[in-house]
Amino acid sequence: MDFSDSPAEADFRAGLRDWLREHLPKGWADREPSPKPLDPLLLRRWSADLHRAGYAGITWPAEYGGQGLDTGFHAVLLEEMARQAAPEHLGMIGIDVVGPVLLAYGTAEQKAHYLPRILSGEVVFCLGLSEPEAGSDLASVRTRAVPDGDGYAVTGHKIWSSYAHRANACLLLARTGTETRHQGLTCLLLPLPHPGVAVVPQRQLTGDANFSEILLSGARVPAAGTVGARGDGWRVAMAGLAFERGVLGVTLAARLEVQLHRVVATARSTGLLDDPHVLDRIGALAVEVAGLRWTSYRLLPRPGQQGSAAAAPSVVKLRWSQAYQGLTELALELLGPAAAVTGDDAYWGGYWQHQQLRSLGSTIEGGTSEIQRNVIAERMLGLPRSR
C-alpha cells in the first residue's frame, strides 16, 4: 500500500504547518516539556483560532461548519498537531465522538443546535458511559431513565468521565427499558450543570483531576434529547467509540514519536546516549513507533475502501499503551535518582515522573489490555470465546 500523501493532502499538510508556525504561541516549538496543565484561557483562545481557520471538524459537512474532507485529511491534521505538540481543541470528545454520532443518528434540531457549537467550543461534551459496576462490561449499565412528563428522569452513577469538569454537555448511556444487557439502553443528551446532577472530580496518581464521577438523582432530560431511537443506545454508543478509533491510532503514534525525541534529548543530556543498552532500547521503541504509524495508516477508513478488520484498532491500542509505559520507564531510568524529584528544581519540572504515572492509565482507558487481547483472540485469530 502507498501511504504517502496525495497531492491535495500534501498541500493541506504544508498549509497547516505554516499556519501552526504562525499561530502557536511565541516560542512554543522550543519550550521545555512540562507537567503543568495548559492555561484554560490559552486553550479556549486556541480552540477559537482552530475553528476560525477551519481546522475544527474538517470531515463534517460544510452546512455544520466543516469542510467535508475525507479521513485522510483528518489524519494529516491530527498527526501534524501532535508532532508540533499543539494543544487539542477543547471539544475533542465532541468533535471525534459526539458530533459524528449526531451526524449519523441525531435529529435535524440536534444537528442544527449542537454541531456548530461543538466546533466553536461553545458546547464541550463529555461521555457518561462507565459506571462502578459497568466498565469492561459496559452492557451492565444500571443508570435508569424513567418516563417523566415529556422526557425522562435519570438516576444513577457514572464514573471516569474524562473532562466532565470542564464540559457543559454529556452524552449519557442509560437504561430506559426492562430488558437486560445490550437491549433497553438509550443515549441521551444531558446539559451540564443541571438540577439533579453533581460532577465530582476524581484525582489521579499524577495529582491532576481530569475525570469525574457524575451523580444523577432524578435529573430531567426532555424527549428531544434522545439520540437515535429509544432502546437503540448500545448501537449509538458503540458507533461513537468506533468513530473515535478510526483515527486515534495516527494521533497516538505521532505523540509517541514526539515522546521518543524527548527520550533521546534526555539520554543526550544525561550523557547516556552512547550506552549500547540505552541505544538498544531507543532503537526498539523507534521500531515500535514506526510500526504503530504504518499500522494506523493502514486502518484509516479511506473512501471507496473496505473498512479495516474490526479488531485491528485493538492491536494499535495494546501496543501503543505498552510502548508508552516502556518509554516513560526508560526516561526514568536515564534520570536515575533525580527522577524522584518534582517541582521547579526537577528535570523538566518532573515531566517524566508525571508521564510515567499518567501512562499507567493507558492500559485501562478505552478498554483494558485484557479486553483488547480477548478481542484480538476472538475476532482476529478466531480463538474460542473467553466466556
Ligand X SMILES: Cc1cc2nc3c(=O)[nH]c(=O)nc-3n(C[C@H](O)[C@H](O)[C@H](O)COP(=O)(O)OP(=O)(O)OC[C@H]3O[C@@H](n4cnc5c(N)ncnc54)[C@H](O)[C@@H]3O)c2cc1C
The CB-of-265 to ligand X minimum distance in angstroms stands at 26
Tell me the sheet residues that pair with 213.
200
The CB-of-114 to ligand X minimum distance in angstroms stands at 18
Buried b (16+ CB within 10 A) or exposed e, 149-172: eebbbbbbbbbbbbbbbbbebbbb
**Cβ proximity to ligand X, 120 vs 368, nearer residue:** 368
333 annotated active-site: no
Cβ-based neighbour number of residue 92 at 10 Å: 19
Interface ranges with ligand X (CB under 6 A): 127, 129-130, 135-136, 160-162, 211, 361, 364-365, 367-368, 370-371, 374, 386
CA 69 to chain CA centroid, Å, is: 20
The CB-of-239 to ligand X minimum distance in angstroms stands at 15
**Cβ proximity to ligand X, 211 vs 234, nearer residue:** 211
**Cβ proximity to ligand X, 55 vs 125, nearer residue:** 125
The CB-of-311 to ligand X minimum distance in angstroms stands at 15
Half-sphere exposure of 66 (CA within 13 A, CB side): 21
CA distance linking residue 162 with residue 167, whole number of Å: 9
**Cβ proximity to ligand X, 135 vs 291, nearer residue:** 135
Residue 180's SS3 state is coil
Residues 6+ apart with CB under 8 A from 107: 224
**Cβ proximity to ligand X, 64 vs 211, nearer residue:** 211
Would you state the cell numbers that stand for residue 64, as one nine-digit string?
A: 455544520
Q: Which one from 244, 288, 329, 333 is the annotated catalytic residue?
A: 244
The CB-of-141 to ligand X minimum distance in angstroms stands at 10
The CA dihedral of 290, 295, 301, 302, to the nearest 10 degrees, is 70
Residue of this chain nearest to ligand X (CB atom) = 135
Q: Hey, which residues are catalytic here?
A: 244
